[in-house]
Structure 1
Amino acid sequence: MSGTDRPVLAVLCGEQRPPDMEPIESVASVRYADAGELPSALRGADALFVYDFLSKAVPGAWHAADRLRWLHIASAGVDPVMFPELRDSDVVLTNSRGVFDAAIAEYVLGLVIAFAKDFAGSLRLQQQRTWRHRETERVAGTSALVVGTGPIGRAIARLLRAVGMRVAGAGRSARQADPDFGDVVASDDLARHLPGFDVVVAVAPLTEHTRGMFDAGAFAAMREGARFVNVGRGELVVTADLVSALREGRLSGAALDVFEQEPLPPESPLWTMENVLVSAHMSGDVVGWRNALVELFADNFARWCDGRPLRNVVDKHLGYVPSSR
Structure 2
Amino acid sequence: MAHQFDSQLDVSILSVLLDDGGPRRWMSTQDVARGLAALEVAEPPAEVLQQRLVLLVADGSAECRAEGRGLMWRRAECAGKVLANADTWLSDEEALALQVLKRFAGRQITSVMATLLRPLFDAAESKLRRRGREGCAGRIAWHRKLSVVERSSPLVPPRLRETVLLPVLTAVFEERNLEVVYRPRFEPERKRVLMPLGVVEKAGMVYLVGLEDEDPAPQCLRLDRVHAAHALKERFIYPDHFSLADYVEEAAEFGLHADGNIKLAVRFAKGCGDIVRDAPISPDQTEEIGPDGSLVVRCTVEMADWLVRWLRSFGPQAEVLEPVSLRRALAHEVKTMARAYCRS
Task: Give your verdict on TM over 0.5.
Answer: no
Query: Larger % of strand: which?
Result: 2
Report which structure shows greater RCO (CA 8 Å, sep ≥6).
1
TM-score, normalised to structure 1's length?
0.24
TM-score, normalising length: structure 2: 0.23
Greater gyration radius: 2
